[in-house]
Structure 1
Amino acid sequence: MRTNRIRTTAIAATALVAALSLTACGGEDEALGTKPAGTAETATPAATSTDGKAQQDAPEAGAPETQTVPSEGKHAGGNGGTPSKKSETAPTAKSNTNATAIPACTPKNSKVKVSSVTRPINHLLLTVTNTGSKDCAAYHAPFLRFDNAQAVYPILDDSKPQAVVVLSPGQEAYAGVGLLGEPGENKPVKSANLGVIMVDKNNKSKGEATLKLPAKTYTDGLGFVTYWQSDVETALMY
């Protein structure tokens, strides 16, 4: 029993000495200003006033930037300041177009002829040639009259080209003439003469040329004439 008490007392004394040693070490660490492991402090910004000013000076996210344009000096592509008076009164595209319009081909500056074709059947071919010294335009479609008829021949709207045919001196334009309508609608009449009326860009008459038709030309007045084309194949494809 005595032996057990001595051992117990010795163990308790040893534990007490160890505890006092740890306490003394902790106090020494605090005195030296050190912290135990695992207790690191969170860093706090020192200059808060400077950061606050930077945030105020920074632009808001998504806000458009503004630039100050000098009241004088040159900008890219032109002079700065208010536009000149000349730029305010610049001509429009419409006035430019009117000023540079090409004169129409008329009996005075061109020649028209008519000829028969083998294909397609019951068709004629009109050809206009620029005989002048300047460009002319074959506007729209010619107005046709067979044997001094009061009404002009029907014009085929589906043949309208994408652009007006412009002829340099010596060049030609073409129009196809279908002589007959649907079979049985009217009795064909033999015609000897053909009146060809050229028009300007406003579809107004600019003079008439009278041509002698090929022999045995028959029409029932229900045919058509195409717009002026730049090639024979297109004029006779209808």
Structure 2
Amino acid sequence: MTARRSRHRSAAYAALALGLAGSLALTGCNSHSSKKSKKSSSSSSKSKKRKIIGGGAAEAGTGAASRRVPDCYPSTYKVTFSQQTGPKSHVAVKFKNSTSRDCKLYNAPLLRFSNAKDPLPLLQGTPGHLDGTRITVPAHGYAYAVIPTNSAATKGSEQKSVAIDFMGISASSVTHGPATVNFAEKRLHISVGKSKVTNWSSSIHGAQLAGGVGK
């Protein structure tokens, strides 16, 4: 009877030892798997941070580039002229930005009618580096300037052509030009005498008011 009990106890102890060993092995595996999962999660998080930081820098660079607005260019199809008659007679100068991005215009157009040596004087004074005006013409948008011709002296005689330069920030600088418009070829009757031209404006009404011929 004693020997039988002893054998039963030995078997029970052996089973218990096997059970404990299996539990410890399983715990070790779970711990190792958890560490791997944490490392993988940490690595993924760092990768995402690097992507976000890199993407932000790239976007900032793109934004800075998009803010660089180029100068507008004159051409025979971008600059047009029309003459209004009556008490508030004037010549309207219209520029069309035919490109798909914004461009900038400084001060006023420099206009030499019929091969004149000097351009038409500026109605709003000679611009300097500090008080020069600048407007941004949106893609496919327009800008306007006006030449008052509401007196005999300012209306003068009919002109044959005009050479157009675009000014820079100061009176002495020219960004682009000249472009020459032949009025006879375009069947235009433009009369300009001892007059002056306004600065560029974003609207024809604003240019007319600046020239004193607004309605």
TM-score after normalising by structure 1: 0.49
CA contact (8 A) 1:141 1:155 kept: yes
Deviation at 1:235, TM superposition (A): 0.9
For residue 116 of structure 1, the aligned residue among 80, 83, 104 is 83
Aligned equivalent of 2:144:
174
Q: Distance in 2 between matches of 1:187 and 1:107?
A: 24
Summarize deviations over 1:143-176 as a string: whole Å, max 9, x none: 0011111111011116989962211210101000
Aligned equivalent of 1:233:
205
Residue type of the partner of 2:104? A
Aligned equivalent of 2:192:
219
Summarize deviations over 1:40-90 as a string: whole Å, max 9, x none: xxxxxxxxxxxxxxxxxxxxxxxxxxxxxxxxxxxxxxxxxxxxxxxxxxx
- Which segments of 5 or more consecutive residues in structure 2 lack a partner in the other structure? 1-63
- Which segments of 5 or more consecutive residues in structure 1 lack a partner in the other structure? 1-96
Residue type of the partner of 1:234? G
Show the 5 A alignment for 1:184-199: 188-199=156-167
What value does the CA root-mean-square deviation take over the aligned residues?
3.4
Asked if residue 129 in structure 1 is aligned to residue 100 in structure 2, the reply is no
CA contact (8 A) 1:114 1:211 kept: no
Deviation at 1:219, TM superposition (A): 2.6
Q: Give the number of the structure with larger relative contact order, counting CA–CA contacts within 8 Å between residues 6 or more apart.
A: 2
Structure (1 or 2) with the greater helix fraction: 2
> Percent same amino acid among aligned pairs?
26
For residue 200 of structure 1, the aligned residue among 134, 150, 168 is 168
Residue type of the partner of 1:192? K
Q: Distance in 2 between matches of 1:224 and 1:187?
A: 11
Deviation at 1:142, TM superposition (A): 0.4
TM-score after normalising by structure 2: 0.53
Deviation at 1:199, TM superposition (A): 2.3
Asked if residue 209 in structure 1 is aligned to residue 179 in structure 2, the reply is yes
Q: 1:187 to 1:124 in 2, by over 3 A?
A: closer
SS in 2 for 1:137: strand
Name which one, 1 or 2, has greater alpha-carbon Rg.
1
Q: Distance in 2 between matches of 1:118 and 1:126?
A: 15
For residue 71 of structure 2, the aligned residue among 79, 104, 112 is 104
